[in-house]
Amino acid sequence: MFVVAPVLAGSVDFTAEERARIESHGPWPPPRTPFDDFRDALSRGDTVTAARYPAAAQRGLEIFVGSGRCFFCRAGPSFTNGEFADVGRPFFSAGGVDAGRWGGLQQWLASPYNRLGAFSDAPPDAARAVATKHVVMEPRHYGEFKVPGLRGLLATAPSFHDGSAATVEAVVRHYSELDAGRLHADGARLLQAWQLSPPQVADLAAFLKTLSAPAKAAKGSPVRAR
């Protein structure tokens, strides 16, 4: 669960310094991936380079944008909508309940670093500040967790909030065999069991793996359209 660092009395305010760094350098770009090479090759009509993209990954991409309907939550260059979702994973454990988004909202609303806090440079009528002001905590927020981006997912395993999926294939199988009865009754019903065959599971996993940079390139080669 996301935890907001406490503000200590007399502590140094690094927020202005960090904003200046971002404005001067911008966010750090992720390294290039096989998918980026494939996408850019298609955009410039380079069939030779595009043909190097694995056939299994191409079939998996078709599932991703087609029958899997992954684009509802996995859009944009980072492959995430930046929202929170209940994906049917248990949030009870031997130690109690993982409050998920509910607990995160409690901390966020109390934090001086939110959009209404003393460190925000957004005017109070800015869209995100207004949205923060009108946040309403609901029971469905239990069991909702951040939809992470898919870039570099091979470096962030195991997956899900509880680390219960050790491999990409295990993640795909979860969505393929999804038990809709585990989802909140008052939540958004975007998820449906894919019921993929074993070869389709392998194909979709092959595509997802191409969203990670090869190990030798993971520390450089930022993403730039060519």
Residue 132 pLDDT exceeds 90? no
Q: Using one digit for the tens of pLDDT, what is the confidence trace for 31-69? A: 999 999 999 999 999 999 999 999 999 999 999 999 999
- CATH code of residue 186: 1.10.760.10
Dihedral over Cα of 62, 68, 72, 78: its sign? negative
138 and 154, same domain (yes or no) = no
**Structure letter (DSSP) for residue 85:** E
Q: Hey, how many other C-beta atoms are within 10 angstroms of the C-beta on 16?
A: 10
Q: How confident is the model at residue 115 (pLDDT cuts 50, 70, 90)?
A: confident
| Single-letter residue type at 225 | A
Total domains in the chain come to: 2
Residue 108 pLDDT exceeds 50? yes
176 and 76, same domain (yes or no) = yes
Range of the domain at 179: 33-91+146-226
pLDDT at 188: 57
CA 102 to chain centre: 18
Q: Using one digit for the tens of pLDDT, what is the confidence trace for 68-80? A: 999 888 989 999 9
136 and 186, same domain (yes or no) = no
Instruction: Give the position of tokens 């389709």.
Output: 200
